[in-house]
Every structure is written in structure tokens, then in C-alpha cells.
Chains A and B, each alone.
Chain A
Amino acid sequence: MVSLAVRGVDVVLGSRQVLTGASMEVSPGELVAVLGPNGAGKSTLLNVLSGEQKVLTGDVRIGDEKLHHLSSASLACKRALMPQKASLSFPFKVKDVVAMGRDPFRASVEVSSNRLAVDWALQETDIGHLARRVYTQLSGGEQQRVQLARVLAQVWREADEDARFLLLDEPTSSLDLAHQHSVLHLASRLAERGVGVVAVVHDLNLAALYATQVVVLSKGNVVATGAPEAVLQPSLIADVFDLSVHRVEDPDSGRKLIVPTGNHRRSASVIDIRRAL
């Protein structure tokens, strides 16, 4: 199966080493959650996956092809990227913003199919009622859903056999609780339809609930990869996030939930240092 893979990648931005020997892989059908504290290199990893960030060493491939050998036009037909911050400040209609996701297919796909993709993306992201509204007048959360719809339209296919990848950088950061879940639920449904999805998320429970795989980053290193149940152990979370947590069982589903204890390790260690001094 055609997968999108990063192997042994180093990235240096300015004088800072942002990624060190990072490796990860996503295959169609998977939903990979990228986790880690602020500044761990999550967004950079996503940019490497999208081909936007050049790498010093290591390589990035879709199937057997190296990403930087592909033209940006053909890359646009294989993967879509939703950046963390959108910078659109011109008063486009929502449906026009979403339709731009179909721009890579303007010449190759019929107009009616492209329109179908836009309608589908509007429905899936629950913004059908905003289609004729002006983007700049929407709330932050609504704008985020419009951007999500745009990348959904980009990975839409008439038939599901094509391998394609959806890269989401904190797609839930401005969303209310219900929409956070509907976005991740949508991502997992897309994965079932043959899209390889990579999402940077901060909520560990959200990752545990929907992801098939998690990748944990700490200070530019991939420190753990695997199924959420296996990876998200209290000891790892304590090491990576500097936060002590309990795993408790949800009484209805039996799933493991991660609950911070409120006993903050960082402040504890500050006290330790003071004592030592």
C-alpha cells in the first residue's frame, strides 16, 4: 500500500535543531495523532510530511517517490494541508473559499464533480448554512471549519481507490467541545474511506478516542509510536509533558481516560531546586 513516510529527518531552523532523526509513517486508512508539548516540533513534522519544509538529512516519500521530486501541482493532488493559522483576510464567500480546495483539479476533473466535492465538504463540516456568508465575518471556530472544508474538498475523490493524505495542524484549536469531536470523528471516517490522516492535537483523550496510531514528540525527537492504548502510559506522559496523570476506566465503554491529577510536577521540581539551594 502507498504510504507517506518520513525517515531519519533532521530539520534546522535558524540555529535551532527542530527535528532530530524523526521518523513516522501514515498509510491510507490510518488516523495518526501527533502529540507533544509546545515547541516539540509537531508543526515542523507536519510541514515535512507536506513537502513544504526542506530537510537536511533523511527523506520523505509517498510510496517509492521522493516528495521533492514531485511537482507542487501533482503533490497537491495527493495531499492536503490545513495550517495552524489561516491568514485569509479578504471577504470571500464561504463556498468560494471551500471551492479553492478543488483548484488542483480545475483542469482534470469535471465542473460538476468539483461542485459535488464542495457540497460534500460543506455538509461534512456542518457549515452548509454558512455557504453564502462572508468568511471574514465568521467567528474563529466557524472560520476553522471553513478551512477544514477546503482541505476536505481537496482530498475528495469520486472513487476511493486513490491514496491521498490529509494533514491537519491543530484542527480543533478554536472549536467548541462538540465540534472538536465531530472533526476527529470526521477524520476517522475519512480514514475508513482510504485517506491517510495526520492530525496534531493537544487533547490526549481526543487522540486516544479516535486515532489508530499516535506519534509522541519531545524536543524534536519522536519518543514513542504505536497504538494509543499502548503508548499513552502515565509514565510517558509524565516524562514528555511534565504532568502527572491517572488512567481511569470509563464506566460505560471501559475505555481508558487520561485525567491530570492536578499535582503539577514542574512546580514540584522548582520547590525541589529551592530546597537544594
Chain B
Amino acid sequence: MSILTLRARQYVDLSEVVRALALPGLGLLLVAAILTGLISGAADMATWDVVSVLWDVVSGRGDVDAISRAIIMEIRMPRVLLGGMVGATLAVSGAVLQALFRNPLAEPSIIGVSAGAGAAAVTTIVLGTAFGAMGAIILYALPVAAFAGGFVATLIVVAIARVNGQTPMTTILLSGIAVAALGGAIMGLMMFISNDEQLRSITFWMLGSLGGATWTTILPAITIMSVILFAMPMLMHKLNLMLLGEREAASLGLNVDRFKYLCVALVAAGVGAAVAVSGTIGFVGIVVPHLLRMVVGPDHRILLPASALGGAALLLWADVVARTLAPPAELPIGVLTALLGAPFFLWLLRRASREGTSW
């Protein structure tokens, strides 16, 4: 071994190299996922067709045929955009809550948002059709109800958790569990009184899907989800301080209670919007930040953008698999993420505990 390599080993910190390469690497993975998402589908499209349509849209020339253009821009693009935004939002929300709870096993549903959204959505499906509302009304009422339900449930969780003017994370956790149980009970009740057709739409919604995304249905949700993504630069330093401990964060000038409310509100809005348009998609919010923390470390200056890129890429790849596994049928994407996510997560935990690090 030469002196040069010895020196290199001494001075090049491998973890620094990984950190530096993580964001560009995840970015590439996301770009590849977007292109694959646009290419794959029922109608045959070559990579070149997709690229030429995209170039045509960007340059504004309009000399590709209208059908390819419509397939790419009106059918596949909203779906890909929605998938990317939902994946990014779920992963970033998971990372934020894991920092607030200082627990790597926290996930977005912990603050009651998923249960609230689920209960509201299922209630809308069952009672809406029972009162004879038309399909189109359900289509628009469902995301609104789900979003509102998620937000209200989170408000209840935070209000209950407030003791003596402070909101300890443990009481948020406990009241989150209680509100989730209540939401589950409402869902169970609605499923019990539903008819076969309603049960089918409930099941479809609960398993999660990116199908049916059009520009009009996704734009409001995407706008809401982008708030938490744009807030990332403002949150990342403060989340690091929260990991240090609440007292330490307070003595370093962070208004801890106000910051908690801000984070919970951002997550409730983002996840509420995600659940409203795509149903419940599990495991992205817990697996992505957890996995990336193992690679890039706990520093949110890298972890948050990495989670956004990684979450988006993961959900888009999962959607590609869901669409192409048994065409023309689509596997529910929520089923797929859990099916892949759960064993992978268990494997990570095993490996980490063997190496003596808990996360």
C-alpha cells in the first residue's frame, strides 16, 4: 500500500463522500422514475416519443401529434406529478414528525391525520351515496371531506394534548392513538352499514391509488402539499435543535411550542391533502426518512431534501410496478408500498441491531 492511499484513507471521510453524493444520486433516481412513469402505460410509447413531447411542450412549438401529446400531458403527467408530490410530502412529513418526537419510528399517521381523513372519506362515500348524491359530487366532495377530516382530527389531538400551556410530545402521541382508534371505529361503523358497491369504493380508497389523477383534481392538493416542501429550508436547522432535546432547543433560542404547532399544522395539511387525493399509502412516511438517515445521517439539512427526493422516487417506481405487473389491471399502490416496505423495514431493523446501532 502506498503512502498516498494511506493518506487518503486518513483524510477522506467516507460518510462525507456519501453525504455529498446522496442528493445528486437521489435526484437522478427521481428523474429516471419520472421518465419511466411517463413511458410506461397502456399505450406504447418509446423513450424518444416522451422526450420529444416534453421538448415540444417546453419549446412551445406544437409539432408532435395531438394524441401522443394528450397521453403524455393529460393522462400520465398529472399522475406522475401527483405521485411525486405525495411521495415527497409523506416522506418529509415522516422526517419532521420523527424529529419532533425524537423517535425514528414516528410516522405521519401518529398525529391522527390519516384516521381523521379516512373516517371523513368513508363517511362521505357511505352517507353521500345513501342520500342519493351523484358520482360527480362524491368525486369532488371526497377530497375536501378527507382533507377537512384530517385537519380537524389533528386539531383535536393537539388540543387534548395541551397541559398547563405546554404540549408534551408524549401526550400528543397518546391522544393521537385515541383519536386514531375513534377514526377507526367510525370507519368500521360506516363499512358495517355500507352496501356492496359502497364497500368496493371504500376498499379502493383505503388501499390507495394514483389513478384518476387529472389536472383539475390534483391542482388544489398539489398546492397544499407544496407548502411543506417549500418550508423545508426554514425547518431544517430547527429540527436539528429539536433532536438535541426540547430544553436544549429552547435555550438555543427556539420557541419550542410554537415550532411544534407549526410543524404539526404543516404535516396535517400536507398529509391531509395527500390522503385526500390518493387514499392511504402506508410505509413511505416511515421507511424513507429512516432508510435515508442510515445513509446520510440525522442532519436535516440533508435529510429533508433527501427524503423529498427519495419519497418521490420511491412512490413513482412503486406506481410503475403497480401499473406494469399485471396489465391492464393495476395493483393498489398502498398495498404495494406496504408489501415491499414492511419486509425491507424489518430487514433494516435486524441489520441495524446486529451492528449495534439502534437506527
Bound state CA distance, A129 and B326, in angstroms? 57
Bound state CA distance, A104 and B251, in angstroms? 10
Q: A264 interface residue, CB < 8 Å from B?
A: no
B243 nearest CB neighbor, chain A only: A90
Per-residue A-contact encoding for B274-310, CB less than 8 Å = 1, 0 else: 0000000000000000000100011100000000000
Q: B196 interface residue, CB < 8 Å from A?
A: no
Interface of A is mostly: mixed
Is B297 in contact with A104, judged by CB distance below 8 angstroms?
A: no
Q: A97 interface residue, CB < 8 Å from B?
A: yes
Q: Quick one: which of B230-258 are within 8 Å of A by CB?
A: 237, 240-241, 243-245, 247-248, 250-255
- A132 and B252 in contact, given A86-B245, A91-B357 (Cβ under 8 angstroms): no
A97 to chain B: which residues have CB within 8 Å?
244
Is B251 in contact with A81, judged by CB distance below 8 angstroms?
A: yes
Q: A80 interface residue, CB < 8 Å from B?
A: yes
Per-residue B-contact encoding for A62-78, CB less than 8 Å = 1, 0 else: 00000000011111110
A99 nearest CB neighbor, chain B only: B240
Choice from B252, B298, B358 contacting A154 with Cβ under 8 Å: B252
B248 to chain A: which residues have CB within 8 Å?
81, 83, 86-88
A80 to chain B: which residues have CB within 8 Å?
251
Q: B197 interface residue, CB < 8 Å from A?
A: no
Closest Cβ of chain A to B90, distance in Å, is 21
B251 to chain A: which residues have CB within 8 Å?
50, 52, 76, 79-81, 83
Is A103 in contact with B243, judged by CB distance below 8 angstroms?
A: no
A103 to chain B: which residues have CB within 8 Å?
237, 240-241, 252-253
Is B255 in contact with A72, judged by CB distance below 8 angstroms?
A: yes
- A88 and B253 in contact, given A96-B299, A103-B237, A106-B237 (Cβ under 8 angstroms): no
Is B252 in contact with A88, judged by CB distance below 8 angstroms?
A: no
Choice from A52, A77, A89, A96 contacting B253 with Cβ under 8 Å: A77
A90 nearest CB neighbor, chain B only: B298
Q: Which range holds the interface residue count of chain A?
A: 20 to 34
B15 to chain A: which residues have CB within 8 Å?
93
Choice from B13, B104, B250, B297 contacting A92 with Cβ under 8 Å: B297
Q: A52, A75, A103: which has the most chain B beta carbons within 10 Å?
A: A103
Q: A100 interface residue, CB < 8 Å from B?
A: yes
Is A88 in contact with B245, judged by CB distance below 8 angstroms?
A: yes
Bound state CA distance, A154 and B248, in angstroms? 12
A87 to chain B: which residues have CB within 8 Å?
102, 244-245, 248
Per-residue B-contact encoding for A224-238, CB less than 8 Å = 1, 0 else: 000000000000000
B241 to chain A: which residues have CB within 8 Å?
100, 103
Closest Cβ of chain A to B95, distance in Å, is 12
Choice from B13, B252, B254 contacting A101 with Cβ under 8 Å: B252
Closest Cβ of chain A to B100, distance in Å, is 13
A86 to chain B: which residues have CB within 8 Å?
244-245, 248
Per-residue B-contact encoding for A94-120, CB less than 8 Å = 1, 0 else: 001100110110100000000000000
- A73 and B253 in contact, given A103-B237, A132-B13 (Cβ under 8 angstroms): yes
Choice from B104, B252, B297 contacting A100 with Cβ under 8 Å: B252
Q: B245, B251, B359: which has the most chain A beta carbons within 10 Å?
A: B251
Is A91 in contact with B237, judged by CB distance below 8 angstroms?
A: no
Chain B residues engaging chain A, CB cutoff 8 angstroms? 13, 15, 102, 104, 237, 240-241, 243-245, 247-248, 250-255, 293, 297-299, 357-359
Chain A residues engaging chain B, CB cutoff 8 angstroms? 50, 52, 71-77, 79-81, 83, 86-93, 96-97, 100-101, 103-104, 106, 132, 136, 154
